[in-house]
């Protein structure tokens, strides 16, 4: 089937197999490999992107379901030269080590602050429950999100 998805502001149109998952559309068709796949069971959140501004796990959404809609991936959030406040906060507070969960974690955090711009530590921990990190013990991720909230990360 033919789908049209706006990805990071650019309109993309491609022929895809019906069963194509959104994450595979992003990675294999568009070459946006920042979004990762970490599990088979919608448990880890490494594939989290924004669909019409809200975080979703792109391994559990068909590419076809994104037809006519807008997707933001880590590549669309900020650049190395001009990072988004959430990306800056993750660097400043060492909220990443191997980096594999990071794109999903950052997108989930951006979405979290949009819903709740002034979260408590408990809110952040509960809000990121769907994103697994094996390296950081979450300590610095939580710190980064709280700092970003102070610093306008909700935009």
Partner 1 sequence: MSILGTRVVRSEDPKLLTAGGTYADDLREPALNGALYATYVRSPMAHARITGIDVSAALESPGVVAVYTGADCDLDPAPPAPEGALGGKPHPSMARPFLAKDVVRFVGEPVALVLTEKRAQGEDAIELVAVDYDPLPAVIDLDDALSGTNLVFPEAGSNVVGVGGADAADAQFADCEAVVTATLENQRVAAAPLEVRSAAAAWGDDGRVTVWLSTQNAQGARDALQGALGLDEGKVRIITPDVGGGFGAKIGIDPEGTALAWASKRVGRPLRWTESRTENMLAMTHGRAQRHKITIGGDRDGRVKAYRIEVVQDLGAYPGVASFLPALTMLMASGVYDIASVTSQATIVVTNKMVVAAYRGAGRPEATAAIERAMDLFAAEVGMDPADVRRKNFIKPDAFPYTTPGGAMYDTGEYEKALDAVLESAGYAQLREEQARRRAAGETLQLGLGLSTYVEITAPDFSVGEDAKVEVHDDGTATIYTGSSPHGQGHLTAFGMLVQDKLGIPLEKIKLVHGDTDQVPKGGGTMGSRSLQLGGSAVYRAAEDVLEKGRKLAAELIEIDEGDLVLDKEAGRFHVAGQTGTGVSWGELAAAAREQGGLAADCHFAEDLPTFPFGTHLAVAEVDVETGQSRLLRHITVDDAGTILNPVLTEGQRHGGIAQGAAQALFEVMYYDPDGNPQTANFADYAIPAASELPSFELLSQETPTTLNPLGAKGIGEAGTIGSTPAVQNAVVDAVAHLGVRHIDMPTTPQRVWQAINEG
Query: Closest separation between CB of residue 138 and partner 1, Å?
Result: 4
Across the beta sheet with 2-7, the strand order is 10-15, 2-7, 70-72, 48-51, 54-57
Query: Closest separation between CB of residue 1 and partner 1, Å?
Result: 15
Tokens of 83: 């990072």
Is the CB of 68 or the CB of 89 nearer to partner 1? 89
Q: Rounded to 5 degrees, what are φ and ψ at 33?
A: -90, 5
Query: Closest separation between CB of residue 97 and partner 1, Å?
Result: 3
Tokens of 7: 């990805």
CA distance 43 to 58: 12
CA distance 151 to 155: 10
Query: Closest separation between CB of residue 130 and partner 1, Å?
Result: 7
Is the CB of 68 or the CB of 80 nearer to partner 1? 80
Binding footprint of partner 1 on the chain (CB under 8 A): 17, 19, 27-28, 31, 33-41, 43-44, 46, 74-75, 77-80, 83, 87, 90-92, 94, 96-103, 106, 121, 124-126, 128-143
């Amino acid at each position: 089937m033919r789908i049209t998805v706006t990805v990071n502001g650019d309109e993309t149109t491609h022929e895809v197999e019906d069963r194509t998952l959104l994450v595979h559309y992003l990675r294999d068709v568009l070459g946006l490999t920042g979004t990762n796949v970490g599990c088979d069971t919608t448990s880890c959140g490494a594939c989290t992107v924004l669909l019409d501004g809200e975080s979703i796990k792109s391994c559990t959404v068909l590419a076809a379901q994104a037809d006519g809609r807008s997707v933001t991936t880590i590549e669309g959030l900020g650049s190395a030269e001009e990072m988004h406040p959430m990306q800056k906060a993750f660097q400043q507070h060492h909220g990443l080590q191997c980096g594999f969960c990071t794109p999903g974690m950052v997108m989930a955090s951006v979405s979290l602050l949009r819903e709740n711009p002034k979260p408590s530590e408990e809110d952040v921990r509960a809000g990121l429950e769907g994103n697994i990190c094996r390296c950081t013990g979450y300590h610095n991720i939580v710190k980064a999100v709280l700092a970003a909230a102070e610093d306008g990360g909700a935009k």
